[in-house]
Amino acid sequence: MDDYKDAIQNYTIVIDTNVLLDLYRFNPGARKELLEILRKVRERLWIPHQVAREYFSRRVDALKDQLDLFNSVPRELETLHNRAITQVNNFARRCSLSEQDKQSLVAPLQQALTSVTSEIERHRKELDLTLEKVASEDPILEDLAAILDDRTGKPFQPEEESALIEAYTERAKAQIPPGYRDAAKSENAHGDYFVWEQMIKRSVETKTPTLFVTSDVKEDWFYKSAGITVGARPELISEMRERAKTDFLMLQLSSFLRAARESLGAQVSEATYEAAKNVSLELRREEERETHHFTIPRPVYEAILSHLKNLVSHAMEELRAAEQMETGRPHSIEHAVNSRLVTQRGESVRTRMLDLETFRGCPATFSMADTVDLFAPNRSVAHMIKNLIEAVEYDTTFETDLPESPVIRGGPLWAKRLENALAPYIDNYTTRSVSRDSVSFNVDEFSNVDTEAIRGIAKSFDVDIHLLNPDGLSFTARARR
């Protein structure tokens, strides 16, 4: 913590978009304390242009999401309450309870609902923001404008931005942090990478180290060990040192508040600390809830494992070669270049080993049908596995005989194989929808459809196949009769 206390006093402090948006999620007391800390560090504060742009475009939505909770949660509780009452009524009827006994069971449920909804309404009234106020005269925006005056970076030039988007695409494919976790986003997938590039550019210009404060929890920013967040990814620290010749530290908002209280004597209540901690905790829970399932042939699984082992071996060979090049060389420009090469090769070894251990750590169930059920714990790992599966299927350097069975159920290759199987038996069809368990097609007419063949394909692919003609008539071949 001493390093972070020193960083708060001496480093350039960069605030991420999600921290600024947290101001719309906090209660007035927590918001006031966070703003006061930002005022205390104003002279060292700096906001990348990408952060400012994201903040302006998302601030109203952040408040709307928060306000929606006050409506959606009572509705969900009401639904659960009604279900519980129905169960109690059924129980009372089947057990021949008297009306008085039934009411003794129903009354506590009603009291609990009334109590909880009353508390939610009380918290709603404490929230001093409305969509109308934020849309017209946003008090948070006014506070931030005063704090961040002359503390915001400039945008990239158009040609620079285009080049960086291309660079991001290549980095995301190679899972180079930050930002590769957002590669599947339809909009602003490069946002984190732009923030990173603007931080590096700022550090080069000012020659000062950077402390990045975020509510993010993604693994393409933070290095985690046994589920514990240790700090910034080593690759980020190395890249900042190589390009800007300065240090780079990261703190989640809750830890920043704690360090600010100790370093600056800032007023931070336990309630504010808990509010910030809960925001990160909820983000982490959302990430952990996203478990992804793959069913792949066993040869594919073994080919991926072999490929990852080969990548580790190759990276270690490159590291040894770089170390041999450096050994015995005089201290010169050439020596310095080789030293950086050794560092880069070392990071490559660690990354490859991490990929291997991550894949090995995914729960896998081997079936009698020579397939493997593989479970990825989060989107990042799922993205890695998906890329590896596609590489195995399309890269001829993998020497393995792959069966013609589905690989990713519901995926594009699986759908293509299914369509190829159906093509001889259906004339003039278009795909309506594809999922793991069912597919739907539009057909011109059923007279040209070989229904028995379709049933056989449904059983072979273990998927329900639905056909619909323009007259609204349908035919369904079930996977199992």
Question: Are residue 48 and residue 191 in the same domain, yes or no?
Answer: yes
In a domain, 355, yes or no: yes
Between CA 179 and CA 191 the distance in angstroms is 7
Range of the domain at 149: 1-66+140-289
pLDDT in tens, 87-133: 888 888 888 889 898 899 989 988 998 999 888 888 888 777 777 77
**Overall average pLDDT of the 370-386 stretch:** 76
pLDDT in tens, 407-458: 445 555 567 777 778 878 877 777 777 766 778 888 877 777 778 888 888 8
Question: Given strand 464-468, what is the order of strands in its sheet?
Answer: 429-434, 438-443, 464-468, 474-477
CB 203 within 8 A of CB 240: yes
The mean pLDDT value of the chain amounts to: 81
CB within 8 Å of 272: residues ≥ 6 apart: 26, 29, 30, 33, 34, 257
Identify the domain boundary among 265, 289, 313.
Answer: 289
**Overall average pLDDT of the 57-77 stretch:** 83
Between CA 174 and CA 387 the distance in angstroms is 10
In a domain, 212, yes or no: yes
Question: Are residue 173 and residue 275 in the same domain, yes or no?
Answer: yes
Q: Determine which of 72-76, 301-305, 367-371, 391-395 has the lowest per-residue pLDDT on average.
A: 391-395
In a domain, 167, yes or no: yes
CB 120 within 8 A of CB 73: yes
406 confidence band (pLDDT: 50, 70, 90): very low
pLDDT at 283: 58
Question: Are residue 61 and residue 176 in the same domain, yes or no?
Answer: yes
> Residue type at 200?
I
In a domain, 133, yes or no: no
Give the count of domains, the chain.
3
328 confidence band (pLDDT: 50, 70, 90): low
Question: Are residue 353 and residue 229 in the same domain, yes or no?
Answer: no
In percent, how much of the chain has pLDDT > 70?
Answer: 84
Q: Give me the DSSP letters along 406-426.
A: -SSTTSHHHHHHHHHHHGGG-
333 confidence band (pLDDT: 50, 70, 90): very low
Q: Which of 228, 280, 221, 292 is nearest to 256 (CA)?
A: 280
Identify the domain boundary among 341, 364, 395.
Answer: 395
In a domain, 76, yes or no: no
pLDDT at 336: 45
